[in-house]
């Protein structure tokens, strides 16, 4: 099962994002509870599986999840009579391990979990731990950061739902096990998504002959091939272009997502160097510096700044095929004579640093470290360094530029003009009102429930508290750097009317070099999208940003940084 949970950039930028993952504060459960609830309609990839063995050795296998042509996740599973243990590794997302307790009558009374930073090594400490307890009439979820005070939320709920973690096909299999125990050709049950106090998802199983099953969740149907015991052999979720394959035996232990390729493509007119960047806080950031070839003299450079949520240096999102905007930017600028430093967020790949208690101000310090690193490089002109920030990155970029008069240019890519609270209020309401699975007569009550759940579980993380109170405008008034403001005309995360506010704020405060452009039919990702609703990102076919956006962006940077073309 795959439930895309957008962020704001203010998720890819505040909470709302690029269709991304959890917030930078790494609070996987609390901060995104409301968004997960509002997006239950997009319950992608629900799956099913076979019952635990009654006796004998543990059964070990893996699920490989592919979207389009990209392998986006691998779930390794060990199933015994009284438990199912899993480890989910998803490209560019936090890793999760869990243990689900099993009962003979199909109940799952408890699930414990641990959350790790994306790309974390086998010996890494978890960022968050927690447990879900399911009784006959209530559910409690307890979660907290390692060493911190856990938060507990209890909700009345009947029917003993089956707990679910995003991208866990093994937990989804338990619904088929319960359906088999119930007998007959169909069964109606409920999943409980691990978010906030638990987000209920209605599910219906229909067995079709002896070799296939149809699972419908929130109105979305998914078909799977099964064997005589009910185990999934493979499946296809057409609406999300997701294919699921089961691998058993020794081969299951050898499957790996592998490390993303951050290098330069063949015959590129630039080189790609793996780098580590020291910070004043004492941790290192990993990244890639692309350097144009064949040019004499010192080069101009750009530092990229990701949106909210832990992201890798490409700002990769598995939800949308080919969406690696920072890699695309580095390639485009590298061919126009501009070096690009793109960095992994804290906790991603080899980057260190405190994630749990960090705020946007701390991430601004990480970007300052990137700028300082470039100024030590012999190939780079320290007076021609620009910043490029997407979503929350469009909020962080001005923080850095306002305190560093030597920054030569600033690009605000769908950056916010409102406080986080105003952005969040809109996003949560919008996600509910745009959710086709919620009947019109129930939307108002769903909005109230969403806000109540958010307030009780999500506003306590340091990143979220900072974001909710932060007003970008006072910082923008201090920016004198030449600034380009780009905005998607259908953006439903950082709404289009915010771009003119940023423009006016900069100009009124005395910035003499401000350019703004809004692109019609482009969403928060700057991908063609006539609606821009984040719950529909999963339906986008291609995440590459078009030349109509990349062209003006590149031309502006070439002009402001006095870049020379590659020979």
Mean pLDDT across the stretch 30-53?
Answer: 31
Mean model confidence pLDDT for the chain:
83
Mean pLDDT across the stretch 117-124?
Answer: 70
Class of residue 281 by CB neighbours under 10 A (exposed 0-12, middle 13-18, buried 19+) = middle
Provide the pLDDT for residue 43.
Answer: 31
Provide the pLDDT for residue 520.
Answer: 96
Instruction: Reply yes or no on whether the pLDDT at 324 is more than 80.
Output: yes
Exposure class string for 55-93: b at 16+ Cβ within 10 A, else e: eeeebebbbbbebbebbbbbbbbbbeeebbbbbbbbbbb
Residue range 337-363, pLDDT digits in tens:
999 999 999 988 889 998 878 999 999
Provide the pLDDT for residue 514.
Answer: 98
Class of residue 225 by CB neighbours under 10 A (exposed 0-12, middle 13-18, buried 19+) = middle
Task: Report the share of the chain in percent with pLDDT over 90.
Answer: 47
Higher confidence at residue 216 or residue 533?
A: 533
pLDDT category at 236 given cuts 50, 70, 90 is confident
Residue range 394-429, pLDDT digits in tens:
999 999 999 999 999 999 999 999 999 899 889 888
Higher confidence at residue 141 or residue 144?
A: 141
Higher confidence at residue 5 or residue 40?
A: 5
Class of residue 240 by CB neighbours under 10 A (exposed 0-12, middle 13-18, buried 19+) = buried
Provide the pLDDT for residue 497.
Answer: 97
Instruction: Reply yes or no on whether the pLDDT at 186 is more than 80.
Output: yes
Provide the pLDDT for residue 529.
Answer: 96
Instruction: Reply yes or no on whether the pLDDT at 65 is more than 70.
Output: yes
Provide the pLDDT for residue 35.
Answer: 31
Provide the pLDDT for residue 15.
Answer: 41
Residue range 202-227, pLDDT digits in tens:
889 999 887 888 888 766 778 888 77
Could you list the beta-strand ranges (E) of 209-298: 212-217, 220-226, 232-237, 242-248, 270-278, 284-292
311/317 Cα distance (integer angstroms): 8
| Nearest Cα to Cα of residue 485 among 405, 493, 563, 476 | 476
What 8-state DSSP symbol labels residue 426? H
pTM for the whole thing? 0.76
Instruction: Reply yes or no on whether the pLDDT at 19 is more than 50.
Output: no
**Top-tier CATH class for 270-419+429-560:** alpha beta
225: left (phi over 0), alpha (psi -120 to 50) or beta: beta
- Domain positions in the chain are 43-254, 270-419+429-560
Lowest mean pLDDT: which of 41-45, 57-61, 271-275? 41-45
Mean pLDDT across the stretch 514-540?
Answer: 93
């Amino acid at each position: 099962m795959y439930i895309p949970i957008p962020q704001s950039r203010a998720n890819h930028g505040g909470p709302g994002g690029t269709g991304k993952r959890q917030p930078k504060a790494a609070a996987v459960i609390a901060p995104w509870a409301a968004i997960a609830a509002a997006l239950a309609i997009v319950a992608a990839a629900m799956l099913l599986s076979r019952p635990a063995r009654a006796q004998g050795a543990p059964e070990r296998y893996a699920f490989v999840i592919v979207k389009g042509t990209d392998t986006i996740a691998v779930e390794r599973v060990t199933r015994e009579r009284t438990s199912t243990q899993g480890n989910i590794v998803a490209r560019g997302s936090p890793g999760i391990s869990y243990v689900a307790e099993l009962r003979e009558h199909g109940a799952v009374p408890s699930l414990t979990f641990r959350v790790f930073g994306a790309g974390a090594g086998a010996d890494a400490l978890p960022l968050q731990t927690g447990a879900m307890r399911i009784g006959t009439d209530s559910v409690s979820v307890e979660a907290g950061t390692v060493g911190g005070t856990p938060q507990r939320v209890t909700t009345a709920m009947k029917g003993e739902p089956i707990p679910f973690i995003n991208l866990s096909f093994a937990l989804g299999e338990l619904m088929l096990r319960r359906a088999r125990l119930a007998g007959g050709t169909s069964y109606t049950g409920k999943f409980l998504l691990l978010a906030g106090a638990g987000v209920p998802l209605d599910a219906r199983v229909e067995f079709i002959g002896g070799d296939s099953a149809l699972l419908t969740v929130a109105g979305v149907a998914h078909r799977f091939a099964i064997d005589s015991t009910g185990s999934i052999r493979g499946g296809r979720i057409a609406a999300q272009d997701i294919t699921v394959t089961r691998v058993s035996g020794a081969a299951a232990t050898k499957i790996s997502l592998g490390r993303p390729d951050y290098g330069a493509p063949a015959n590129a007119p630039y080189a790609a160097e793996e780098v580590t960047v020291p910070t004043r806080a004492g941790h290192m950031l990993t990244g890639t510096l692309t350097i144009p070839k064949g040019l004499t003299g010192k080069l101009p450079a750009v530092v990229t700044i990701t949106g909210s949520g832990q992201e890798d240096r490409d700002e990769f999102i598995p939800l949308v095929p080919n969406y690696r905007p920072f890699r695309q930017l580095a390639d485009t600028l590298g061919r126009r004579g501009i070096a690009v430093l793109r960095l992994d967020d804290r906790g991603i790949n080899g980057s260190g640093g405190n994630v749990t208690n960090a705020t946007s101000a701390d991430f601004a310090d990480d970007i300052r470290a990137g700028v300082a690193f470039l100024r030590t490089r012999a190939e780079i002109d320290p007076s021609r360094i620009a910043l490029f920030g997407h979503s929350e990155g469009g909020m962080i970029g001005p923080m850095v530029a306002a305190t560093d008069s030597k920054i030569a240019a600033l690009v605000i890519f769908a950056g916010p003009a409102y406080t986080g609270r105003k952005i969040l209020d809109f996003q949560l309401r919008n996600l509910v009102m745009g959710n086709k699975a919620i009947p019109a007569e129930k939307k108002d009550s769903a909005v109230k429930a969403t806000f109540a759940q958010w307030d009780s579980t999500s506003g306590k993380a340091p990143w979220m508290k900072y974001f909710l109170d932060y007003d970008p405008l006072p910082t923008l008034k201090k920016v004198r750097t030449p600034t380009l403001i780009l905005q998607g005309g259908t953006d439903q995360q950082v709404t289009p009317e915010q771009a003119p506010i940023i423009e006016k704020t900069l100009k009124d405060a005395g910035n003499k070099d401000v350019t703004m452009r809004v692109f019609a039919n482009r969403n928060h990702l700057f991908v063609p999208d006539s609606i821009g609703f984040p719950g529909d990102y999963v339906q986008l076919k291609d995440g590459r940003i078009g030349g109509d956006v990349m062209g003006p962006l590149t031309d502006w940077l070439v002009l402001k940084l006095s870049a020379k073309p590659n020979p």
